[in-house]
Amino acid sequence: MAEVEETQLPGVGIRYDFVTKEGDRVGVLAHRTGRRELLVYDSVDPDACRDVVRLDADDTQTLAELLGTSHVSERLADLQQHIEGLTIDWLPVGGNAACAGRTLRESALRTETGVSIVAVVRGDETIPAPGGDFTLEEGDTAVAVGTPEGIKELFRLLQQG
Amino acid sequence: MIFAAAPAEVALVLTELGLVVLGLALLARLADRLSLSPIPFYLVGGLIVGRGGVVDLDVSETLIAVGSEIGVVLLLLTLGLEYSSEELGGNLKVGLPAGLLDIVANATPGVLAGLALGWDARAVILLGGVTYISSSGVISKLLADLDRLGNRETPSVLSILVMEDLAMAVYLPVVAALLTGGSLMAGLPSVAIALATVALVLFVALRHGGVLSQALFSHSDEALLLGVLGTTLVVAGVAAQLQVSAAVGAFLVGIAIGGAVQERASLLVGPLRDLFAAAFFLFFGLQIDPSELVPVAGVALALAAVTAGTKVVTGWWAAKRMGIARPGRLRAGTALIARGEFSIVIAGLGVSAGIEPALGPVAAAYVLLLAIAGPVAARYVPALVTERPERRQPVPAGQ
């Protein structure tokens, strides 16, 4: 994350600003009254604002939500990260999958793919470290850890095979 | 008393007062249309209506006089409310060099002019104050209107305004004490007493300000407004009785109020201050005969020209210290030119003490010039001087 500079403006409020990766300076002026101003600095005269967008409390909420949502999905995408050849992923269990309705031992998923199912999300409930006699059901989400290839194979098995 | 007056008199007072307020409303509307501060317009309104003017007011003048006293008290209360004690203290170290330059560069021309005119020493000190202090009201509105609050040079401008605020905490009591003494020398002992009182009040306010804020706190806007107003008027009254000046008392109340009460109080008092401050500027104009302006016009014009320049230098230097480029330094300098409410407040102290008859007219003409020229310069000069390219070239994505 870029370093955010914080400046006290006596009698007005606090100004926060930072330089984006592309080199534009962007800021937010938080007035003491709760009003916000979105500041975009000029590239020719870097001390002046090229654009100032005035936001009331509602507008601030809307903008934060718009920016925040994409931020959350980015973070989720990041979670499927590769850690030294390992992949962690959330895989749905399909209705006509062979393994649906069978225990983990019966379907022998780990033996076939080399991928461990470390947890299962069922509705609002999370079952950590399911044992061999745990039965997968349609609509479950399996949290799996393994190689990228193994994860792909497991994804196929949980969907149909 | 109004209530004891005959019905006919009540009718006259209400009508006359109503017409005065309507006149002020028209002036404020005109000022807003021209994006200028209404202060010079109110002053001109007072010049036209008052002594030696076109129209003469009858009964409502005493009411306006009382309103004007309340106006000074509320102006100083909001000046005190404007910054929290943390902001005042935190700014001291960073803002001190620029604040000192501000005092030296801008009070000196006023003092020299007073000496050249052969004025009483106290009037000379007052004129120094008139040329020193920028109008924080006009300037904060100006920066907001021009969308410059987010600019990187703005902290240097605000820092100077905060330093001026602190300087007033020392200057006003000293001046008030000097004025009660009859002469500069006779006033010196009361200056020491006034300064000690102020130091004590400031210390208590900054250390234990929470107590007053807590006592005044209420969820009801009405209760809070009346509480703050009542406290301020009582303290101002007691201060006036003790010869410390009502303005100083109100200012100290403003500084002592902090926290959540501070922000709400300044919001609530705002509209009242606008009303009574209008009465104050009007009354200041009323007391001046327009013909008195003619002989002082040259002095006022010269002072305005010199001190506009010295403010630009002050702002330029303060912004430069903060690493701001040339266009920003010019914006900071020109923003500081505007003089307004506090120059009139300072001159008003001298006028009501009756020390130098020319002080009022000089201050009025001076503020008339700079309250108009300041905002105009801040708006147009930076754009004139810095030629900007037509449109900035978009940077190709991914470069």
Q: What residues does A128 pair with on adjacent strands?
A: A119
The pLDDT value recorded for residue B54 is 65
Nearest CA in chain A to B160: A10
Q: Does A34 touch chain B (CB under 8 A)?
A: no
Phi-psi domain of B124 (left: phi exceeds 0; alpha: psi -120 through 50; beta: other): alpha
Nearest CA in chain A to B91: A10
How many residues are given for chain A? 161
The pLDDT value recorded for residue B1 is 45
* Contact (CB<8Å) B162/A11: yes
Query: Which residues in B lie closer than 8 A to residue A23 (C-beta atoms)?
Result: 395
| A78-92 pLDDT per residue, tens | 555 555 667 788 888
Torsion of CA B371, B372, B373, B375, to 10 degrees: 80
Number of H helices, E strands in chain A: 4, 10
Q: Does A46 touch chain B (CB under 8 A)?
A: yes
Q: Does A48 touch chain B (CB under 8 A)?
A: yes
The pLDDT value recorded for residue B153 is 93
The pLDDT value recorded for residue B29 is 94
Per-residue b or e along B191-208, where b marks 16 or more CB atoms closer than 10 Å to that residue's CB: beebeebbeebbeebbee
The pLDDT value recorded for residue A35 is 87
In sequence order, the 6+-apart residues with CB closer than 8 A to the CB of B53 are B47, B286, B289, B290
Calculate how close chain B gets to A122, using CA atoms only, in Å: 43
Count CB neighbours of B74 within 10 A.
25
* Contact (CB<8Å) B151/A48: yes
| A20-52 pLDDT per residue, tens | 998 899 999 998 878 899 999 998 888 999 999
* Contact (CB<8Å) A10/B158: yes
Q: CB of B340 within 8 A of CB of B137?
A: yes
Which of A45, A53, A54 has the most B C-beta neighbours within 10 Å, making it the best mutation to test the interface with B? A45
The pLDDT value recorded for residue B398 is 44
75-104 in chain A: CB under 8 A from chain B:
none
Q: Does A47 touch chain B (CB under 8 A)?
A: yes
* Contact (CB<8Å) A47/B328: yes
The pLDDT value recorded for residue B399 is 39
Q: What CA–CA distance (Å, rounded) separates A140 from A1?
A: 35
Nearest CA in chain A to B325: A47
The average pLDDT across A120-141 equals: 86
Q: Which of helix, strand or coil describes residue A67?
A: helix
Which strands make up the sheet holding A36-41, listed edge to edge? A5-9, A13-19, A25-31, A36-41, A49-55
Q: CB of B140 within 8 A of CB of B111?
A: no
Helix (H) or strand (E) holding A56: none
pLDDT band at A77 (very low <50, low <70, confident <90, very high): low
Calculate how close chain A gets to B346, using CA atoms only, in Å: 22
Joined together, the tokens standing for residue B193 give: 């007493």
Query: Which residues in A lie closer than 8 A to residue B162 (C-beta atoms)?
Result: 10-11
Count CB neighbours of B366 within 10 A.
27
The pLDDT value recorded for residue A99 is 82
The pLDDT value recorded for residue B199 is 80
Query: Which residues in A lie closer than 8 A to residue B386 (C-beta atoms)?
Result: 45
In sequence order, the 6+-apart residues with CB closer than 8 A to the CB of A61 are none
Nearest CA in chain B to A53: B147
Give chain A's largest Cα–Cα span: 71
Q: Which residues of B touch A (CB under 8 A)?
A: 82-83, 87-88, 90-91, 136, 140, 147-155, 158-159, 161-162, 263, 267, 324-325, 327-328, 331, 386, 388-389, 392, 395
Interface contacts A/B by beta carbons within 8 Å: 76
Which domains are present in chain B? Answer: 12-384 (1.20.1530.20)
Q: CB of B52 within 8 A of CB of B322?
A: no
Joined together, the tokens standing for residue A138 give: 């349609």
Closest CA to B152 of A148, A149, A46, A18: A46
Calculate how close chain A gets to B329, using CA atoms only, in Å: 9
Q: What CA–CA distance (Å, rounded) separates B137 from B347?
A: 17
Per-residue model confidence as pLDDT tens for chain B (399 residues): 445 557 777 888 888 888 889 999 999 999 989 888 888 999 888 888 876 666 666 667 788 888 888 998 999 898 888 877 777 777 777 788 999 999 999 999 999 999 999 998 899 999 999 999 999 888 988 898 889 999 999 999 999 998 998 888 888 888 888 887 666 677 677 778 777 877 887 777 767 767 777 788 888 889 999 999 999 999 999 888 877 778 888 888 888 887 778 888 888 998 999 999 999 998 888 888 888 888 999 999 999 999 999 999 999 999 999 899 999 999 999 999 999 889 999 998 888 888 888 999 999 999 999 998 999 999 898 888 765 544 444 555 443
Q: What CA–CA distance (Å, rounded) separates B313 from B141?
A: 22
Question: Which ipTM did the prediction report?
Answer: 0.75
Q: What CA–CA distance (Å, rounded) separates B293 from B260?
A: 45
Q: What CA–CA distance (Å, rounded) separates B399 from B392?
A: 16
């799996």: which residue's tokens? A144
Closest CA to B217 of B269, B259, B253: B259
The pLDDT value recorded for residue B386 is 65
Q: Is the dihedral of CA B189, B164, B110, B130 positive or negative?
A: negative
Per-residue b or e along B242-271, where b marks 16 or more CB atoms closer than 10 Å to that residue's CB: bebbbbbbbbbbbbbbbeebbbbbbebbee
In sequence order, the 6+-apart residues with CB closer than 8 A to the CB of B101 are B313, B314, B317, B318
Query: Domain A82-159 falls in which CATH fold?
Result: Alpha-Beta Plaits (3.30.70)
Q: Does A155 touch chain B (CB under 8 A)?
A: no
Q: What is the DSSP letter of B149?
A: T
Q: What CA–CA distance (Å, rounded) separates B315 from A160?
A: 74
Average pLDDT, chain A: 83
Q: Which of helix, strand or coil describes residue A127?
A: strand
Nearest CA in chain B to A36: B150
Torsion of CA B179, B182, B187, B190, to 10 degrees: -80
